[in-house]
Amino acid sequence: MTAGCGVPAPTRWLRLGTIDRPQTHDPRNQAPMITPTKEPVGSATPDVTIIGANDSRQNRTREMQLIPEALARAHMHDRLREAEVDRQAVRLVAARRMQRRAERASLRARRALAMAVMH
């Protein structure tokens, strides 16, 4: 596809988010979940007369489909929090090690100074 002088026309991909691959992972930038007005939440439409249709219909609502995503986000949040706590613990251990090393160096310097003054 070319535009005018043999230059390729810029292609613009319109990529809508899906359940498996959302457009963004930031919940603040995602489109709000809107329940359709034609169907009450969690119930079948009035024209369905089959007895078991109500239960099968409830299992196919959008909220039910998005529960694994919400669960995965919660797990990811927990893992990130645990990783941050682990990183904090590693930094604390390293800081204490450096503090002990500095104290030993300070004691060596004091001893060397005392030896120099006494002789």
Q: How far apart are CA 16 and CA 1, in angstroms?
A: 23
For the record, the structure tokens of 72 come out as 């995965």
pTM above 0.75, yes or no: no
One-letter amino acid of 40: P
Q: Can you tell me whether residue 2 is helix, strand or coil?
A: strand
Question: Any idea where the domains of the chain sit in the sequence?
Answer: 54-118
Q: 68-86 burial, b if ≥16 CB within 10 A, otherwise e?
A: eeeeeeeeeeeeeeeeeee
The confidence score (pLDDT) of residue 19 equals 67
pLDDT tens string, the chain, 119 residues long: the values are 555 556 555 555 555 666 677 676 666 666 666 655 665 555 555 555 555 555 555 556 777 788 899 999 999 999 999 999 999 999 999 999 999 999 999 999 999 999 999 87
The confidence score (pLDDT) of residue 95 equals 98
Q: How far apart are CA 97 and CA 91, in angstroms?
A: 10
The confidence score (pLDDT) of residue 49 equals 53
